Amino acid sequence: MKYNVIPNDTFEKLQMEAGIFCKHFNPATGEYSGLMGATTGGGQFSTSPEFSDFGEDVDNCPNNTMELKHKDSETAVLSTTFVTLDAETVKFALAGADIDSNDTTHIIPRRDLKTEDFNDVWWVGDYSNINTGESAGYAAIHLKRALATSGFNLQTTKNGKGQQSMELTGHYTISDQSDVPYEIYIKAGEDSGETPEINLDKHSATIEVGEELTLNVTRKVPSTATVTWQSDTTAKATVSDGVVTGVAAGSAIITAKITVDGVTYSDTCTVVVVSA
């Protein structure tokens, strides 16, 4: 028996690259918004649960008896280092500050905390061997009611970039004390099973100068892909949204293209233009 093996699905379960920090993420669609800035060194997430052992002072009861273990709370921390600096990020890092309404370049710290100082933050990274396109896999961590708990830290260097480290801690809320301040999503990429392609209804045609010919796409995979049109010789024939117009006697190759996950797929029609 050999034990120096790895699971067959290893490459389907790898988390890749540093990921992003953003304010909003939709797990259903994979769409994000509110990118917080460029980072260096990736991100780090950790949780620290706190327990009570109701059996530790009970005679004849061993410590850490599972039936008597109680989870009191959990501290969730998400941290990174930003290499970009703006007023909103600094305001967040100060954990209790306002941007001057009369001068948006002025950030004013304050002693007290307000409800709006606590904001949800997402970290989202590539996951699985399918990590491009509309069905890409992702790993996502949602830190709820996050507050920057390490203060504002800016490190500058000679001939280098300034770096702003930030540690964010999720918080419980009185309105729902059972709501743990984080959640995690892990979604593998989905293969549609169809190879991207595009087909035209004609691959050769003859038209007169000034005459128009409409080329139609008979098959397009995926159906949501945008078709772009091109003529290799606009002096002979032009094309716009599949409508070819003869310009001068000669021939032109009309190409219809789609791009899927950075790869271009095309089909062509050779159009011969004759004098009227």
Confirm if 127 and 14 have CB atoms less than 8 A apart: yes
What are the respective helix, strand and coil percentages of the chain, to the nearest 5?
5, 50, 45
Please give the model's pTM, rounded to 2 decimal places.
0.72
pLDDT in tens, the chain (276 residues): 778 889 888 988 999 999 999 999 999 989 999 999 999 999 999 999 999 999 999 999 999 999 999 999 999 999 999 999 999 999 999 999 999 999 999 999 999 999 999 999 999 999 998 887 778 899 999 999 999 999 999 999 999 999 999 999 999 999 999 999 999 999 998 876 678 899 999 999 999 999 999 999 999 988 888 999 999 999 999 999 999 999 999 999 999 999 987 889 999 999 999 998
Q: In the chain, what are the domain boundaries?
A: 10-187, 197-274
CATH class, domain 197-274, is mainly beta
